[in-house]
Structure 1
């Protein structure tokens, strides 16, 4: 994803953490199944009150800034541009400056590393930048994905590819929304490395204010694509950046954080294509080994 807007050099960005908790209730229904809900049960139902709190530690994002370089041998100083990538995935930086013949320059920085470029300048450089997760040279390998829900129940696909509500633009054109009760376990559809986790926000709604508030887990795959598991419940993440996860491993619980009209999982596979987000089509593999393309209205059994 591109970070929305452009950053001026030297700006350090962090994710803000909410100090608010979200109240959840856990009880057994008439069939003896556990139910998680954010609505207080009836007085006749025996329920346990749960409270999740988000991770209060700030999560650094990739950043670029002017760096002073001191040369003790010559007692001189110069300036360059420091690119910092704290993610466990490659990150592509796009720099814009009048010093470049085309007005821009793209630089790929390896996972969990930094790179000093444009050395030897007499003064700090003026530039803007943005960044994208992933290596643009990566090619999707057609992996057959496991349904990303750890549950004994069936779950309805409420919106699929090219959905009219919110899946009609490139970043989410090939995304899937899976409706489920609050607190349902989300599981890895494919193994990989956890890139980024955000689980600090407690609210959701159908208002532009919530567009950048969703909680999520990003997982990098072997072929260079990555999965986004979004709208997870505040404080429910079971993994952290750098963790290696296997297919079917539980990542978090479902919620309704961010731009959302109700509890569900937003699942999408993306890759870096130098553009403003690019989702790619995929198929799920059912328990019998049959491949299927997700469609709105489908009811799919969870994996447990």
Structure 2
């Protein structure tokens, strides 16, 4: 029933989902925008972020506000090994990266099965407190997730707009050859962009595991989320990711509440198909000449 209280509840849920979706998709589009890598293993790193949070917070008992970023940092740091031995060979090779990184995704997923088995786990919430605004009651956990995600996104925005290395990343995304001619170390910039992308994926993966469940297979729906968001917003467009994440988050919250998850998924992918037909460069993407 469409009442103000229900719509307010949907809005709160939509904000929480949008924050997770934007974080997941931002790392995906960052790798594509700068290195032209289609990272089919992106969801696997989000899954590893969920396990890292599970062990640091759920098992070791670190404070949540410490465990969440430390878990993401740990995954991103270890992932630098894969950047050196795998990803570096796929930079600026879009189609080759699709096949190679699909294999890496499968390897990471089934390594997780071997290490932790396939059973689902639950990551405990940061708090069981309920917050009430008028007739709307929702878990404070959603506000915490949205707050941390917003802080990460704000830090990323400030970094790319005002820092030396952030500006170098933007220059490399425009034209890496010209950027190198101006003194930009593309090898270091690629490594830095990779680290940031995996950090955001792992951070979002921890939030996703708390919202739903944790298993070695949760990376696949997160990869699909990243695809839907970047296609909606425009491949390689960071403002497009923000718009796409908001649209998908609120749409899933509304449709899932009133019509069920099946309808939500159907509408999401139907919108993607229509967009690919009539505006394949996305809502805020740049049309290729």
Q: Same fold (TM over 0.5)?
A: no
Instruction: Return the structure number with greater helix share.
Output: 2
Q: Normalization by structure 1: what TM-score?
A: 0.22
The structure with the largest strand share of the pair is: 1
Q: Which has the larger radius of gyration?
A: 1
Task: Report the TM-score, using the length of structure 2 for normalisation.
Answer: 0.23
